[in-house]
């Protein structure tokens, strides 16, 4: 049986690749983007299988409206993929208030609005799957992407909580956590904070690490993983994508646990004497 899948940010990158993968196998796709013209090629090829919608995920009213249109058009929504987002490059000190708020507005609040909008639909169906496109940088942090890291850490906390709240309604929740991929995310889709020369060494080290051969994955290679995730009877809460994500997260978590262990006695002493009733 075909599924109805709502994908935000479907005009390019992962969103476009995944939308085409679903459509090729016969699913129906509600494809949203800031420019509806960028979605026309999907309509031209797949016709009535696609409902293109112009959507700025920063607008809560528009987000709820898009979900209502999707439900009215196809009768149900089986999967929501919150994919819309962008990267903000710049150290913490370099980042302006406007840049930081804009990053959080899209990457976190955009996810929140679509999630809130689709939940009544999925609860009524007693089924559904909400997939948040996070990043392995929602689990570990790197320099020069501090506000982006923070936005994805926020999505991780929101989504883990959500999963515990909606499981009883038959709704599955997953986080997709890619490492770097050769999309426009770090190019034309990215924002750049005003540079301070004093941070040049930090940025050079960051660029050198990102220049490791094979560091960026092939975006098209993610399609099969997303199809498997959507089709899974018991999908995981977290799915890392790419060969660099797992070792990076594993190393960071091992270091984190070692630090907790080293300071364990201090942590326990900070509890004080157990309180009695």
pLDDT digits 0-9 by tens, 58-113: 999 999 999 999 999 999 999 999 999 999 999 999 999 999 999 999 999 999 99
Exposed, middle or buried: residue 125 (CB in 10 Å: 0-12, 13-18, 19+)?
Answer: middle
Closest CA to 179 of 242, 221, 236, 119: 242
Average pLDDT over residues 171-177: 98
pLDDT at 190: 86
Q: Is the pLDDT of residue 211 over 90?
A: no
Active-site residue, from 28, 152, 181, 199: 152
82 in the Ramachandran plot: left (φ > 0), alpha (ψ -120 to 50) or beta? beta
pLDDT at 275: 86
Q: Percentage of the chain surpassing pLDDT 90?
A: 92
Token digits of residue 204: 């050079």
Instruction: Please confirm, yes or no, whether 152 is among the known catalytic residues.
Output: yes
Q: For residue 172, give the H/E element and its range.
A: strand 171-178
Look up tokens 């409902």; give the residue. 51
Instruction: Please confirm, yes or no, whether 148 is among the known catalytic residues.
Output: yes
Instruction: Please confirm, yes or no, whether 246 is among the known catalytic residues.
Output: no
Contact 40, 52 (CB under 8 A): yes
pLDDT, tens only, 233-270: 999 999 999 999 999 999 999 999 999 999 999 999 99
> Is this structure's pTM higher than 0.85?
yes
Q: Is the pLDDT of residue 187 over 70?
A: no
What's the whole-number average pLDDT of the chain? 96
pLDDT band at 276 (very low <50, low <70, confident <90, very high): confident
Average pLDDT over residues 22-35: 97
Active-site residue, from 148, 151, 181, 199: 148
The CATH-assigned architecture of domain 4-243 is 3-Layer(aba) Sandwich (3.40)
Cα 90 to chain centroid distance, Å, stands at 20
pLDDT at 184: 74
Torsion of CA 65, 158, 190, 53, to 10 degrees: -20
Cα separation of 212 and 9, whole Å?
A: 28
Cα separation of 223 and 36, whole Å?
A: 23
Active-site residue, from 134, 135, 151, 174: 134
pLDDT band at 209 (very low <50, low <70, confident <90, very high): confident
Contact 100, 147 (CB under 8 A): yes
pLDDT at 215: 87
Give the chain's end-to-end CA distance (angstroms, integer).
57
Residue 140's φ and ψ, nearest 5 degrees, are -135, 160
Cα separation of 137 and 78, whole Å?
A: 27
Average pLDDT over residues 164-170: 98
């Amino acid at each position: 049986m075909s599924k109805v899948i709502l994908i935000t940010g479907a005009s390019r990158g992962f969103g476009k690749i995944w939308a085409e993968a679903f459509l090729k196998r016969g699913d129906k796709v509600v494809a949203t983007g800031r420019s509806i013209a960028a979605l026309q090629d999907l309509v031209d090829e797949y016709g009535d299988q696609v409902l293109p919608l112009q959507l700025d995920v920063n607008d809560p009213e528009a987000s709820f409206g898009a979900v209502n249109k999707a439900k009215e058009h196809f009768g149900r929504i089986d999967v929501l993929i919150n994919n819309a987002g962008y990267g903000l490059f710049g150290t913490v000190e370099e980042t302006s208030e406007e840049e930081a708020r804009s990053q959080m507005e899209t990457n976190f609040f955009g996810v929140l609005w679509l999630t809130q909008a689709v939940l009544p639909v999925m609860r009524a169906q007693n089924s559904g799957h909400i997939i948040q496109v996070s990043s392995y940088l929602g689990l570990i942090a790197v320099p020069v992407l501090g506000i982006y890291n923070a936005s994805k850490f926020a999505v991780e906390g929101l989504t883990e909580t959500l999963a515990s709240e909606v499981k009883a309604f038959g709704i599955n929740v997953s986080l997709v956590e890619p490492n770097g991929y050769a999309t426009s995310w770090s190019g034309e889709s990215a924002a750049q904070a005003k540079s301070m020369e004093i941070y040049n060494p930090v940025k050079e080290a960051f660029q050198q690490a990102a220049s490791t051969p094979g560091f960026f994955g092939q975006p098209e290679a993610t399609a099969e993983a997303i199809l498997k995730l959507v089709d899974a009877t018991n999908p995981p809460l977290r799915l890392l994508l790419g060969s660099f994500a797992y070792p990076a997260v594993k190393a960071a978590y091992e270091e984190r646990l070692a630090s907790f262990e080293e300071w364990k006695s201090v942590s326990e002493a900070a509890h004080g004497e157990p309180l009695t009733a």
